[in-house]
Structure 1
Amino acid sequence: MKGSFTMDPAAQVTQTLDQMGIAYQLVRHPVATTTAEADHYIEGIAGVRTKTMFLTNQKKTADYLVIMDDQQRLDFHRFQELTGAKRPKMASDDRLATKLGLQPGIVSIFGLLNNADHDVQVYFDQAIMDQDRMSFHPNSNTSTIFVATEDLLRFLKALKYDYQVIDLTGASS
């Protein structure tokens, strides 16, 4: 039986990356429910530590995946100004499960593999785009995966997702 939901989530991610010819480094570790915990397990490994947030608008007519440095806080007002999103907020756990097949604490860009409706808008904070590698949960909080930034963008293109780079921190380069 072949079904993406019967496969281990991290295996689904690594298998997809393998099929796309995308190199990655997978670090297995105990359960990490916060980015701070995950960072502890991957100390010394090169790559920006990211946090991925799943947002929706006030009327729940649009969904957004926002990727930024895990040390930064998202300014929802600034996000609204930059994107035109109407009163963005964190999406509910149910919406996260329905749209990305993920649970809270495991939000990742790789959840797009489960987005059957192909309707999530992707945003990267400009501050991390010059980094060589980024780290994410591979849809599981028992490992962290590092992928070259250019390969991550190739992953999105292969899945036919557009993305936008916006200056969420207000730090001009």
Structure 2
Amino acid sequence: MFFVSDILKKSPDTYNSPLQEMVYESLTKLQISFERVNSDEAISMEDCIEINQKLDMKMVKTLFLCNSKKTKFYLFITTADKPFKSKDFSNALDISRVSFAPADLMESILGVKVGAATVFGVLMDKENLVQVVFDKDVLLEEWYGCSDGTTTGYMKVKTKLIVNNFLTYAKYIPTVIEM
């Protein structure tokens, strides 16, 4: 059985990564409230079903993409139920075809491993290499469910606070597309 803790409303006592610590420090500084859970390692969207039920929200799907030369990077945030089609994404942004960025680049740029991609990864993007792209359907949801930068910590935050407060603080202006 997949373990999901009771709901917690404060930062962890210890952190599993530099990014995870930055996430909670940023939310505290911005006075953004959250609910969170600890869980068994969740890698796929299927693993997130019980997390969604516990936090009463829908987890977003966050994909780290790049062009073929690995010189342009995109953090694409969409709904969990939508299949990703590279052609549709590329057409929506009027760019050449993208693919999934290699795991080592995701780790070096965003500070996360596979399964933990999160909007909060922009805190680690010191060179401002990443363009944040939202599927407009994500913005229609009241709650934003995502990883805290680990594969064992997940949280629920008001979507408008992620887009308007957190991304402004992190100095990112997201692009919104329809998929």
- Specify if TM > 0.5: yes
TM-score by length of 2: 0.85
Which stretches of structure 1, 4 residues or longer, exceed 4 Å deviation after superposition?
5-8
Alignment of 1:69 onto 2:86: no
What amino acid does structure 2 have at the position aligned with 1:135?
G
Percent identity reads: 24
Matched with 1:167 is 178
Task: Give the deviation of 1:38 after TM superposition.
Answer: 2.1
Matched with 1:171 is none
| Count of aligned positions | 164
Q: Is the 8 A contact 2:139 2:160 kept in 1?
A: no
Matched with 2:62 is 52
Task: Give the deviation of 1:28 after TM superposition.
Answer: 1.3
Matched with 2:168 is 157
Q: Is the 8 A contact 2:132 2:174 kept in 1?
A: yes
Q: Which structure 1 segments of 5+ residues have no match? A: 169-173
Q: Is the 8 A contact 1:47 1:134 kept in 2?
A: yes
Q: Cα RMSD (Å) of the superposition?
A: 1.7
Q: Is the 8 A contact 2:143 2:159 kept in 1?
A: yes
Tell me the alpha carbon deviations over residues 31-78 of structure 1, each in whole angstroms, 9 at most, x when there is no partner.
112121122233153333211000001121210000011111111101
Among candidates 90, 95, 101, match of residue 80 of structure 1: 90
What amino acid does structure 2 have at the position aligned with 1:134?
Y
Alignment of 1:146 onto 2:156: yes
What amino acid does structure 2 have at the position aligned with 1:149?
T
Aligned equivalents of 1:155 and 1:137: distance in 2? 15
